[in-house]
Amino acid sequence: MNGLATDTAQSPGAETDFLAVSPFDLVRKKILSDRLALIGGLCAMLFFGLACMAPLIANRRPLLVFENGSLQSPALEFFFAPDSGEEMVERSFNYLCLALPACAAAFMLFRKKKFRFIALSFLAAALLIPFLTAKNRLDRSDWKERTKNFSGSDFAVFAPIACGPFDRAGEPLAPPGAKHLFGTDQNGRDVLCRMLYGARISLAVGLLATAITMLIGIIIGMVSGYFGGRLDALLMRIVEIIMCFPTFLLLLILMVIMMDMKFKQSVLLVVLVIGLTSWTGLSRIVRGEVLKEKSLPYVKTCECLGLHSARIMFLHILPNVLGPILVSFTFGIAGAILSESGLSFLGFGVQPPTASWGELLREAMSNPLQRWHLTLWPGIAIFLTVISFNFIGEGFKKAFAP
């Protein structure tokens, strides 16, 4: 009896402590206790950080030049308007290279939420202005030759890799060495430099294509599951028809159609093709979760109160089905990166001279043994990136499990 009384006395307090912990805190604690998820998150952050800092690590223009008493930064001039075929991707990552450290500093400096929000908004908007207003211009100056003639107090500070992703930096197909750590490709371009800029392409495709997938899949799944009836039957039949086609074959067909229509192949085209063909699985997952939530009392209460269907779906049901969506999001990024690499490897993805991990693998296809460094480094990068996001997805899956 005393033991029973003790348990009964402790249960209200234990229940109060359980209710005091928010679902977000429970998920966060589970993820932080999962070593594989933490390792995957750190690796993904490392690749993302290297992609953002690519112009500071590999650049043919000096970061700083002091000449004739004046200090300038040729690299910064092209930081806001990079001379690249994939200008949108380059500007986006360059913006993040400046915005993320600045916003992190403002977040730590201001403790009050009101001032912190104002500071973050101001910094984000202020840093966006030069990227929107800067205009592209052509510059083929050979800064290495120019700085060789410096004398006296004149000096130049170059990036650790003093070349760009399109510059010939050495002999073609040179093996890894002290001058080129990852070797060179068939055109004499530094492989490590192209790997850094290729990370931008892979991550941009993974994030943007998955975002499109999430948007389409969530909307169709929510509408199908909530309204049901003939609309549900029609949408699910469309989903099943699309799922009958092998995804990669459908990607190839759409890319060939775009080529025949004289569309210029670019990262955005690859993003659209992958995003528009990968939403079917998510829509079925969301539909199933909505069907479960729809029968719960809080949804019936919202309907009795006369709330609009869109408000019920996206403000009340959607937050309660975020678990499977986040899991699908992380796995979707890994799948999109693999799809982009496969398309580029077959010549239907991002086109040369744009740096891409799949394009480097394609260069090694004619002679994999001689060009082993063009197979090894991109293969390791793709493997680590994909498995990192898979680890994160597994962590979310365990964290959201009942």
Instruction: Tell me the pLDDT of the chain (402 aa) as tens digits.
Output: 444 444 444 444 444 444 456 677 787 888 888 899 999 999 999 999 999 999 999 998 899 988 877 888 888 888 898 877 788 899 999 999 999 998 888 888 888 888 888 888 898 899 999 888 888 777 777 788 888 878 778 888 899 998 989 888 889 999 999 889 999 999 999 999 999 999 999 999 999 999 999 999 999 999 999 998 899 999 999 998 888 877 777 777 877 777 677 665 568 888 888 888 889 999 999 999 999 998 889 998 998 988 898 999 999 999 888 888 999 999 999 999 998 898 888 888 787 888 889 989 998 888 888 889 999 999 999 999 999 999 999 998 888 876
Q: For residue 168, how far is the Cα from the chain centroid?
A: 29
Task: Give the phi and the psi of residue 316 in degrees, each rounded to 5.
Answer: -115, -45
CB neighbours of residue 275 within 10 Å: 22
The C-alpha atoms of residue 379 and residue 365 are separated, in whole angstroms, by 13
Q: Which domains does the chain have, with CATH numbers?
A: 59-157 (no CATH), 191-399 (1.10.3720.10)
Give the length of the chain.
Answer: 402
The whole-model pTM stands at: 0.86
